[in-house]
Amino acid sequence: MSLKINKLLQKKKKNILELWMKNQLADEGLREDLISNEELRSQSEELIDALVSNLGEDNFENVDSDLWSPVIEILGGIAITRARQGFTPRETGNFVFSLKEALLEILQQETKDDAAALFAQSLRISRVMDSLSVVTFETFIKGREEVILRQTDEITEISTPVIRVWDGILALPIIGTLDSARTQVVMESLLQEIVETGSSIAILDISGVPAVDSLVAQHLIKTVSATRLMGAECIISGIRPEIAQTVVHLGIDLSTIITKASLASALAYAFKAMRLEVKKIPAGQR
Amino acid sequence: MVLSLSKDTIQVVKEQDAVFLKNRVKETATKIKMGLVNQTRLITAASELVRNMLRYANGGRCDIEVVSSGRNNGVRLTFTDKGPGIPDISQAMKDGFSTGKSLGLGLPGTRRLVNEFDIKSKIGEGTTVMVIKWANG
């Protein structure tokens, strides 16, 4: 093989960069609102530098080798930033695809007459660039997934607030489906709050739970038992008529638990248990 | 004679799919004007069955169909998995029996929540559960 790819890359670095930039700028999908030309240029330059300085002839096709890791690191960094900035996968993919085109074009100029060499080398370049674009997509998707995971955590956190409605009375409104992971969070924050406030009554409000199946019921029973172990009483409120019928049909026994239809009646029960009274003051009296 | 009017298939592989499935079931039930109580029963039944599928068979498939029989409209759910199968169905249909650590109300409870219930299972091949809830049943 007369032509060395790494030699070619080193020699033509400037040309490749120019051509690549030209390709990228000519692309209609270029997001000038998300990335400035200077930034794009510095990203491209960084990647080409890494490509040229790290690659030898023998490790060119072996993308798993250590010499490739700086290149992959840079590419991954770019893909993750783009995922966070809100680029589409196509726009991110074009970053690598346009480099491939630039490389192939330079290669064609260099091997004008030698069709066999041109074919052999373009095959190698294609293979390498394809695995680089796979890397880009993998990192891009990972970047997006991180965003989703963070949001999931935030939702779990905001959806389980423990409210101190009165001295000694806690309320915990549950919104959404109760799965094992959320029950854990609910139980932990409830028990913690009972210790911190010295409360004796906790109200679990399930008005926001769409359906109570046997697992949700089991989780509720567990939470109530744990609260009782801490010396506090637990009331479940917000049981809608259709939920009540479903629970009866399912055959779940909630008779050991104090249940109320609304948060207001649960609060009234709690007041009674604590020997508190809410009175309306007659007019004219202060 | 039960006629199927429309069909929708959902693959269930992880717990988040269960929420999506329940929403779909609710949409379908609302479309045929099922009452709130029956809707909740159907969704709860779906919730039990999808949970069994995820827990014992690592997921599977659910077909949601709008069915009609005479004047009655309803929703048919068919859960198909390729799990280990149930060795003794009559035992599994008993209240309080569970191989896991649950209350053991899933299958018998589901049967009480729906109008028609059918379960087929083969060891090593998988389990199919079919339920129908009529709009005014």
Q: Check pLDDT > 90 for residue B63.
A: yes
* Closest by Cα among A168, A92, A98 to A134: A92
In angstroms, what is the C-alpha Rg of chain B?
14
Burial A65-75 (b: 16+ CB within 10 A, else e): eeebeebbebb
Give the mean pLDDT of A16-31.
Answer: 78
CA distance B22 to chain A (A): 9
Give the mean pLDDT of B95-114.
Answer: 84
Pair type for strands A233-237 and A201-208: parallel
Give the one of B39, B102, B108 whose C-beta lies nearest to A251's C-beta: B108
Q: Which domains does chain A have, with CATH numbers?
A: 5-154 (1.10.490.130), 163-273 (3.30.750.24)
Distance CA B14, CA B55 (A): 10
A246/B103 CB distance under 8 A: no
Q: Which residue of B has its CA nearest to A217?
A: B103
* Closest by Cα among A40, A181, A21, A104 to B18: A181
Which tokens belong to A237?
A: 């409120």
Question: What residue has token string 């002839």?
Answer: A57
What residues of chain A lie within 8 A of the CB of B44, using their CB?
Answer: 211-213, 246, 250
Domain at B109, CATH number:
3.30.565.10
pLDDT band at A61 (very low <50, low <70, confident <90, very high): low
* Closest by Cα among B25, B24, B50, B52 to B39: B25
Give the mean pLDDT of A5-15.
Answer: 76
* Average pLDDT for chain A: 83
Q: Check pLDDT > 60 for residue A179.
A: yes
List, as ranges, residues 22-81 from A with C-beta within 8 Å of B: none
pLDDT at position A58, please? Answer: 64
CA distance B71 to chain A (A): 25
- Give the range of the structural domain holding residue B91, as residue numbers without chain letter: 3-134
Give the one of A215, A243, A245 whose C-beta lies nearest to B102's C-beta: A215
Chain B interface, best mutation among A250, A252, A256, by max B CB count within 10 A: A250
Longest dimension (CA), chain A: 107
Q: Check pLDDT > 50 for residue A1.
A: no
Domain count of the fold of chain B = 1
pLDDT band at B65 (very low <50, low <70, confident <90, very high): very high
B112/A249 CB distance under 8 A: yes
pLDDT band at A63 (very low <50, low <70, confident <90, very high): low
A241 part of contact set with chain B, CB < 8 Å: yes
Q: Counting every residue, how long is chain B?
A: 137
Q: Which residue of A has its CA nearest to B45?
A: A213
Name residue A101's amino acid: E
